[in-house]
């Protein structure tokens, strides 16, 4: 059974589908430009130590996302 949770709760190697992005419009446009859109599948490659950023793969794009920003994205696992 699939569950809805925050991107910040995912572990390295897990894959999920983006369901909602709760950020302001300007930041949402920036995320869309990087490939983070509702319906897209993303994979957590690694989580940096000491509460550091997440390294994600969306399609063929890899990006780093701060933990507080990852917490604003809901995914379906």
What was the pLDDT predicted at 2?
A: 85
Q: What structural domains and CATH numbers belong to the chain? A: 4-76 (2.30.30.90)
What CA–CA distance (Å, rounded) separates 9 from 7?
5
What was the pLDDT predicted at 37?
A: 94
What was the pLDDT predicted at 51?
A: 87
Q: From the CB of residue 60, how many other CB atoms can be counted at a distance below 10 Å? A: 6
The model scores a pTM over 0.75: yes
Please list the helix, strand and coil fractions of the chain in percent, rounded to the nearest 5, in that order: 20, 40, 40
Q: Per-residue pLDDT tens for 1-26? A: 789 999 999 999 999 999 999 999 99
Q: Per-residue pLDDT tens for 21-77? A: 999 999 999 999 999 999 999 999 999 989 899 999 999 999 999 999 999 999 999
């Amino acid at each position: 059974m699939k569950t809805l949770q925050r991107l910040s709760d995912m572990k390295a190697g897990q894959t999920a589908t983006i369901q909602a992005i709760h950020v302001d419009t300007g930041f949402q446009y920036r995320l869309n430009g990087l490939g983070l859109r509702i319906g897209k599948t993303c994979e957590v490659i690694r989580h940096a130590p000491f509460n550091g950023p997440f390294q994600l793969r969306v399609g063929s794009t890899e990006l780093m996302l701060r933990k507080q920003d990852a917490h604003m994205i809901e995914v379906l696992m």
